[in-house]
Amino acid sequence: MAFIKPFKGVRPRKELAERVAALPYDVMNTEEAIEMAAGNEVSFLHISRPEIDLPQGTDIHSEEVYARGRHNLESFMAQGVLLQDETECYYVYRQKMGGMTQTGLVVCAGVDDYQSGAIKKHELTRADKEEDRVRHIDALNANDEPVFYTYRNDPVISAAVEEVASGAPLYAFVTADGVSHELWQIAEGELIETLTRRFQAIPTLYVADGHHRSAAASRVRDLRKSANPRHDGSEEYNFFLTVIFPDNEMTIMPYNRAVKDLCGRSVAEFMARLGEQFDVTPISGALSPARRHQFGMYLAGTWYQLIAREGSFNEGDAVAAMDVSILQDNLLSPVLGVRNPRTDQRIHFVGGIRGVQELERVVDSGEYQVAFSLFPTSVAELMSLADEDKIMPPKSTWFEPKLRSGLFLHLL
């Protein structure tokens, strides 16, 4: 079953919500964060990317950075930029982007569920990123950014959430990227109890985005448990901040690839090797694949359609039959020499929100020599693989819209 609990949310004063809200910490570098927060003393980036308030060149993994994040959070609360609700609540968070709408329930999930496997993962974590989040959460004494989870849609939960969202929101604003954000509070005890019980009938939650934050929350709990001789399992550090969306509202975009060079091959030699595993056809105009096992390739100013040949991959293996696996196993590794996409500096991953035009741009700039567009992984595919405890290749999914940070925090 899926255990969830309400919490005393820390959130912005209504008139400051739009200025506080910021993109997640991991979709930008330090320089971009500095630019985004320029002239905005209440941007949440002062908490999620606290190095922006320290001298240029400061090691972002230094104790000074984590301590500054804690200082900034305490300062925001002392100044009334952020306020804590007096009672434990759930919240409803709705985002609209173009024709897409996703409405999630903001809750605390349980570390026990994560450790037992009731919360399913589909990616491996990187040790350095996980350690960074452990130190950040522990220093803040808070989950400052939510994990993005999904579950198989339950009509009773959806109806309850929709009823809440039919009222006046606490916050409602549109960010510069055109995404609409709305937040509602659920403080009524009977509805909280109903939602809590209903989730107990749901066997599994799935990590959509936030594997490192989930793993870090688990490690922080273990650290605090070992340091607390009176630990009884009810402490707030046993729970972490989550937004849970139904699977029928989720949107996964492709995670495209670009590679710096042809691994010492000429274009003719590269194309010859390519033809061993793919049917290759030059086309006019950019290609966003419309089905599985179809790929777009941009090389030397020309777009090509690639179709994976039957027998070139194992359709009976759910991971091997993923398009990201086919591209990696049949092209990126054997032809372009990208053996480990998690660590190879020659490969660049391009979120689908940027479109295939970004692939043209990075190749035409000369920074990369070839780029590939993919068909997106489906939510059903993600959940099916997670149910089998299988791990997807890195950078298999790109979720949009991104959750805004700073609209709700959970203190440990």
pLDDT of residue 213: 96
What CA–CA distance (Å, rounded) separates 363 from 352? 16
**DSSP secondary structure letters along 198-226:** HHHT---EEEEE-HHHHHHHHHHHHHHHH
Average pLDDT of the segment spanning 266-289:
96
pLDDT of residue 361: 96
Q: Worst-scoring range by mean pLDDT, 146-155, 289-298, 319-328, 338-347?
A: 338-347
Q: What is the pLDDT of residues 300-321, one digit of tens each?
A: 999 999 999 999 999 999 999 9
Q: What is the pLDDT of residues 162-218, one digit of tens each?
A: 999 999 999 999 999 999 999 999 999 999 999 999 999 999 999 999 999 999 999
What CA–CA distance (Å, rounded) separates 17 from 172? 9
Residue with tokens 């989550």: 242
Average pLDDT of the segment spanning 153-164:
96
Average pLDDT of the segment spanning 387-393:
92
**Band (260; pLDDT cuts 50, 70, 90):** very high
Distances (CA, A) of 163 to 158, 183, 195, 200, 354: 9, 13, 13, 21, 34
Domains of the chain: 4-249+400-411 (no CATH), 255-375 (3.30.1760)
Cross-strand partners of 189: none
What CA–CA distance (Å, rounded) separates 48 from 33? 10
- Alpha helices by DSSP H, listed for 267-322, are 267-274
**DSSP secondary structure letters along 313-355:** S-TTSTTTTSHHHHHIIIIITTTT----TTT-TTEEEEEGGGH
pLDDT of residue 24: 94
pLDDT of residue 14: 97
pLDDT of residue 23: 95
Kindly tell me if the per-residue pLDDT of 222 is higher than 90: yes
What CA–CA distance (Å, rounded) separates 124 from 129? 11
Q: What is the pLDDT of residues 323-359, one digit of tens each?
A: 999 999 999 999 999 999 988 999 999 988 888 999 9
